[in-house]
Amino acid sequence: MKEREKPVHGDDNPKPREVKRRLKSTKRISRRKRLEFEEVELPLQVAIIGGGVAGMEAASVLTEHRCPVILFEARPELGVNVKNKYKIFPDFSDAGRLVETMTKAMDHPLITVNKDTEIVEIIREPDAYTLLDNKGVPHTVPAVLLASGYEPFDAKRKEELGFGIYEGVINSLQLEDMLREHKVLNSLGEDPRRIVFLQCVGSRDEKVGNHYCSKICCITAVKQAIEVKRQLPDTEVYVFYMDLRLWGQGYEELYREAQEQYSVRFVRGRISEAASTFDGRVQIKSEDTLLGQPLKMVTDLLVLMIGMEASPGTQKLGKTCGLEGPYGFVRSKSPHLEDNLSDKPGFFLAGTCKRPMHIAEAVNDGRAAALEIIKYLRK
């Protein structure tokens, strides 16, 4: 991160001295009118980088505290990663509706949403930060929340699995689309006789440089397997796993339900190769490691459970801000009590820019970060 004494700024942005003065006035207000403070609009703007669920939740909480927010989203839409899902575990609630509710809350007088806007540079000023967007506009604010999120793993990098080569090999997001449309079909447009899920694609794999567990894929496969069986009761469903990590509330029960009610078959073993067959299906090779025997299977669809990686924005901003953590995620000050803080005062972190999280975790993390920001601004 660049640091400078004398910043450049746009017309609409406060000069550092002004920022300082406002900060001081905030302090005065907070000292004098501690009780009424919640009612008083903070004259300061907080910049949130990333309009995913963590960023949006943080924005909502900040406005509840009368704090103006400027939100930057690199993509044309808010909440895309969650919106790309159909139903979410463990209660099969509607992902689209969740995002819709959150997006609606962004329509608030204290929130300015800048879509298609990427932050390309962050400059640290005395007591403030200047963010430069891709249109060349600077925004100077006393506090920044980085919520630049994750990106689904590109399964093409696992070339042996044939993603991007064989039509029958799809990723878990493509299956979400099929489930939403109620059109889970093989590459010939027929009802699949068999569907195979493969866990840990892009996670726990040294070959792609990711030693970590993405932690949502196990339960996602269980959820998707159940959805497939609900839509297509006659389809055989197999899940190939290295370990099953069903750690959240209700996850183990869902796993049990998948086995018992839906006859989903779980096989411990990693698929090492996928190829097309003469009749347009997919042949896979794996080992049943619980038997110690290799096996061969032909399936209509091979669904790759892709993990989470730091988004390009996270990687870039993490690097330029000197907050680069493992695997391109950003590093918080401490994972226990200061997980929303960075080692730079006024620079906060939330959501999957730090590590893989499920939706509720990311939402909670955004909320927690907002409260840390309020705490900081009141000081």
Partner 1 sequence: MTTKKHYWNEYQKEIADDKYFYERSCIRQTFFPGSETAFLRILKEELGKDILDVENQHTCTGIGFYSDIVPLETTMTIVARLFSLMTEAGYENYVPSCVTSFGVFSEIVDLWEHQPDMLEKARKILFETTGRTFELPKNIAHPSDIIYKFREELKEKMRYRLVNRFTGRPLKVVEHIGCHYAKIFPDKGVGKAEFPHVLAGMIESWGGEVVDYPERRHCCGFGFRQYVVRANRGYSVANSKKKFESMQPYEPDFIVTNCPGCTMFMDKWQYTIAEMEHKTYDKKGYGIPVLTYEEMAGLLLGYDPWELGLQLHQVQSERLLDKLGIHYDPNEKYKSVSGRILPNPEKPQYLRV
Partner 2 sequence: MADFGFSISKPQSIDTNDMDVGRLQALEAKVPSFKRCINCGACTATCSAGQFGGFNIRRIHNLYRWDQRKGLEKELQQCMLCGKCTLVCPRGVNLRYLIIRLRKALADNK
Which residues of this protein are in contact with partner 1, per CB under 8 A?
Answer: 156, 159-160, 164-168, 187, 273, 275-278, 280-283
- The distance of closest approach from Cβ of residue 157 to partner 1 in the complex, given in angstroms and rounded to an integer, is 11
Residue 275: contacted member of partner 1, partner 2, none (CB under 5 to 8 Å, by partner type):
partner 1
Q: Which of 1, 23, 80, 298 binds partner 2 (CB under 8 A)?
A: 298
Which two three-digit tokens encode residue 360? 């509720």
3-state class (DSSP) for residue 40: coil
247 binds partner 2 (CB under 8 A): no
Q: Are 272 and 179 in contact (CB under 8 A)?
A: no
| Site for partner 2 contains 268 (CB under 8 A) | yes
Give the DSSP H/E element, type plus range, for residue 58: helix 53-64
Of the pair 94, 159, the CB lying nearest partner 1 is at 159
Q: How far is the CB of 168 from partner 1 (least distance, A)?
A: 6
CB of 284 to partner 2, least distance (A): 9
Task: Quote the CA–CA distance of 314 and 278 in Å, as a whole number.
Answer: 43
CB of 159 to partner 1, least distance (A): 4
Minimum distance, C-beta of residue 233 to partner 2, in the bound complex (Å): 12
Closest-CA residue to 354 (of 74, 59, 149, 48): 149
Give the sign of the dihedral formed by CA 333, CA 374, CA 59, CA 68: negative
Binding residue (CB under 8 A) for partner 2 from 263, 322, 360, 375 = 263
Nearer to partner 2, 89 or 266 (CB): 266
350 contacts 54 by C-beta, under 8 angstroms: yes
Tokens of 15: 């000069």
User: Tokens 């499920």 appear where?
Assistant: 358
Considering the rule CB under 8 A, would residue 297 count as an interface residue with partner 2?
yes
Asked whether position 272 contacts partner 2 by CB under 8 A, the answer is no
Q: Which does 160 bind (CB under 5 to 8 A by kind): partner 2, partner 1, none?
A: partner 1
Cα(28)–Cα(22) distance, integer angstroms = 10
Binding flag, residue 295, partner 2 (CB under 8 A): yes
Q: Is 294 an interacting residue with respect to partner 2 (CB under 8 A)?
A: yes
Judge if the upstream peptide bond of residue 90 is cis by omega within 30 degrees of 0. Answer: yes
Under the criterion CB under 8 A, does residue 236 sit at the interface with partner 2?
yes
Cβ closest to partner 2, residue 220 vs residue 283: 283
Residue 288 binding partner 2, by CB under 8 A: yes
| Residue 20 near which of partner 1, partner 2, none (CB within 5-8 Å, type-dependent) | none
Report CA-CA distances (Å) from 112 to 12, 62, 145, 147: 14, 13, 15, 16
Residue 294's DSSP bridge partners are 287
**Cis preceding-peptide flag for 7 (omega within 30 of 0):** no
Nearest approach in angstroms of CB 186 to partner 1 is 9
